[in-house]
């Protein structure tokens, strides 16, 4: 084999490698944009449904596609295409209306046209209190690492969807609110950890979320680490991975 042919083979090998890498990147981009996007939980606003350190997949096709379905919102889609509205009770990742660079994850509580209000810590939808039953206390660490018991409730939405919510008290600043009238084409989002969630109840921070801003529906947890632990410390996984949460569906 001549020196020239060896050089050609080397160049051909480099080009083949670049093509394979580019193909892999395109496939990953398509999966992330159209099918499933990974998302990790940075705060405790959705306890006990989702915990800090949970890693989950978000179904991108559940509600159709908008410009926010794609990285950096680069595809100029007006509104949504192939759209399907979320159901009350869905756990949804969305772009913050005031800053679309920020992703939030909350539960859909109010649909377009609904009237939402908190009275004495109890959720009311269209003038009727949501059924709420006392459940076993939820035990979690406080800001100082001490274990504390928090009141936990099993709530049942009008359509029958059930989930658990947490309440530290019934007299928080978001426990007695005005009536929120959800505008057409918008949704009212709330965190399950009711006293530690900045959500649609805070109009100047989150407020009503446009349908266009929905990224996708939270599907299932594919990985989970104890709060404050680093995923790159592989040698610690046997002790810091929350094995019982892996594969858990999100309701």
For residue 49 the two structure tokens come to: 């449904």
Tokens encoding 52: 């800090």
* Distance in angstroms (rounded) separating the CA atoms of residues 209 and 207: 6
Please report, to the nearest 10 degrees, the dihedral formed by the alpha carbons of residues 139, 206, 212, 129 taken in order.
60
Cα gap 54→245, rounded to integer Å: 8
CA 169 to chain centre: 25
Q: Are 64 and 82 in contact (CB under 8 A)?
A: yes
Q: Distance from CA of residue 122 to its chain's centroid?
A: 23
The residues that are catalytic are 45, 106
β-bridge partners, 186? 210
Q: How far apart, in whole angstroms, are the C-alpha atoms of residue 79 and residue 90?
A: 20
Distance CA 104, CA 115 (A): 22
From first CA to last CA, the distance across the chain in angstroms is 63
Max CA separation in the chain (angstroms): 85
């Amino acid at each position: 084999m001549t020196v020239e042919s060896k050089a050609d083979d080397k160049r051909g090998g480099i080009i083949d490698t670049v093509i394979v890498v580019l193909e892999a990147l395109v496939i990953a981009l398509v999966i992330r944009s159209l099918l499933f996007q990974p998302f990790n939980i940075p705060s405790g606003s959705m306890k006990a449904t989702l915990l800090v350190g949970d890693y989950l997949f978000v179904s991108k096709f559940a509600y159709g596609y908008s410009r926010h379905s794609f990285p950096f919102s680069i595809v100029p889609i007006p509104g949504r295409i192939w759209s399907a509205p979320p159901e009350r009770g869905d756990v949804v990742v969305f772009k913050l209306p005031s800053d679309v660079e920020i992703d939030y994850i909350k539960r859909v509580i109010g649909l377009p046209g609904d009237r939402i209000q908190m009275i004495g810590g109890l959720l009311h939808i269209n003038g009727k209190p949501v059924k709420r039953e006392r459940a076993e206390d939820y035990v979690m660490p406080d800001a100082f690492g001490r274990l504390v018991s928090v009141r936990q409730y099993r709530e049942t939405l009008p359509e029958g969807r059930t989930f658990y919510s947490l309440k530290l008290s019934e007299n928080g600043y978001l426990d007695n609110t005005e009536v929120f009238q959800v505008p057409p084409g918008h949704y009212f989002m709330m965190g399950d950890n009711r006293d530690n969630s900045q959500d649609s109840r805070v109009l100047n921070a989150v407020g009503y979320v446009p349908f266009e801003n929905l990224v996708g529906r939270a599907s299932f947890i594919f990985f989970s680490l104890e709060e404050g632990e680093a995923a790159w410390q592989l040698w610690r996984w046997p002790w810091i991975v929350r094995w019982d949460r892996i594969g858990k569906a999100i309701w």
